[in-house]
Structure 1
């Protein structure tokens, strides 16, 4: 759990929930509704400080507005201002039909900090990859040119760095070079966070820290040539990341796992 500091901003990242269109349907043999509820219970019981809740895509697995409303209902016990961005499995029109909350591109004023949310679902390839549109890249460049003295955290769904998994590298952010060039040219960008990988990652993009949160649903085994689920040990459990943004521009992140995995039986 994050150490509470009165002068800091606390962000919670939940990602890749993959709620199915109907309650009771399983995602890869997992009751993802129940598992997400267990994550929420864990957060409430541990008193995790949350000023802003970031939902970084693949929140519903090709479901309608009612599935997104169900997601928001499960998350209702958590404090904090909500923000969400779409992933490659999300239906953007359904997200917009469920609530007036902005969907995708958004700038959030965090006082000392700025949060930039990006939609990386442009130009899908049908396999899971996505891109930042030209308009999105221009918007990011314009925002980074403003208030360069304030530290920035950027959130998007698709990973902008390659991994040691061949199959996942084929469905990462397609125009990663354009994105990383903007990040590396803006020293005020202190961190970039994403989902999509269903695993924890901690690396760097130039001077910026890069973090990926595990999923609240299933986890993917890292460093694989082909798709493989993580099914044993602590890394198979659902998880989340918290971030503490300090007034001096420092940032700290912590990784938490919640268990056990909510196995179920497929409905007939």
Structure 2
């Protein structure tokens, strides 16, 4: 099974982010995926879908999703509004009431798309109710491999500014995952940079953002002086065969796409 994994489009119905147009970037990403990977089962978009205009931005995201031949599965990040997302964007049936959290049951594996949003914070949280839902789904999966998608990493990644706003109760979350040997892979957004490794025996990955990238850790930077680096956006093509994963990171357009003043 092939899926497209995108993260952090930060879609705004007007304006730019550091001189970059998030509408042009998301259009380029979806156009590229639809043209080059029409055999993908769907697109998972792992959070930070929109900007500050809740009604207008989600309405525009709904339009982007409707115009894509590939089905888009939306998830919640810190920049999202849970109620606005649930009101305007379609989710698979059978998810957790009141949260953007659901399972995708497939013949050879299960995808769990989690909600790590914390009201009024850039860091994430995963409450007892969401933990209980996760554990129930891991139990129900039995021997079937489980692929877990979330926005906030539950661990530090050596990215100082992003590590300040990771999942607050990450150890409790990882304790649940570690109790089950069916967790095949962990996929995380939020950091706007590509990383990969393993933790407690579970392989993990983050990807570059559809909208703009975060600077490398050195030279040091802070949020007050933040400027997106001149790096092209990315998404990932993920081939899943049970518990086996092959991931390709795709530069779907040049850095200059969506840049103010670029020809």
TM above 0.5, yes or no, is yes
Output the CA distance in 2 between the equivalents of 1:132 and 1:96.
Answer: 18
Long gaps (5+) in structure 2: 93-98
Q: State yes or no: 1:71 paired with 2:61.
A: yes
Aligned residue pair count: 249
Q: State yes or no: 1:201 paired with 2:201.
A: no
Name which of structure 1's ranges 251-260 and 98-107 shifts more when overlaid on structure 2: 98-107
Q: State yes or no: 1:91 paired with 2:77.
A: no
Aligned to 2:42: 52
Q: State yes or no: 1:119 paired with 2:115.
A: yes
Output the CA distance in 2 between the equivalents of 1:150 and 1:132.
Answer: 24
| 1:244-255 equivalences in 2 (<5 Å) | 244-247=239-242, 249-255=243-249
| 1:150-189 equivalences in 2 (<5 Å) | 150-189=144-183
Output the CA distance in 1 between the equivalents of 2:84 and 2:67.
Answer: 23
- The alpha-carbon distance between structure 1 residues 27 and 42, as it changes in their structure 2 partners (threshold 3 A), is same
CA contact (8 A) 1:197 1:212 kept: yes
Residue 214 of structure 1, CA deviation: 0.9
What root-mean-square deviation, in Å, do the aligned CA atoms of Structure 1 and Structure 2 show?
1.9
Residue 80 of structure 1, CA deviation: 3.6
1:18-71 deviations in whole A, cap 9, x for unaligned?
Answer: 112x33x11121011011111122223323532021111111012223322312
When normalised by structure 2's length, the TM-score is 0.87
Output the CA distance in 1 between the equivalents of 2:110 and 2:30.
Answer: 26
Tell me the secondary structure at the aligned position of residue 183 of structure 1. helix
Aligned to 1:6: none
Q: State yes or no: 1:40 paired with 2:30.
A: yes
Long gaps (5+) in structure 1: 1-8
Aligned to 2:234: 239
Tell me the secondary structure at the aligned position of residue 141 of structure 2. coil
Output the CA distance in 2 between the equivalents of 1:188 and 1:205.
Answer: 15
Output the CA distance in 2 between the equivalents of 1:42 and 1:110.
Answer: 25
Output the CA distance in 1 between the equivalents of 2:187 and 2:145.
Answer: 14
Output the CA distance in 1 between the equivalents of 2:234 and 2:65.
Answer: 15
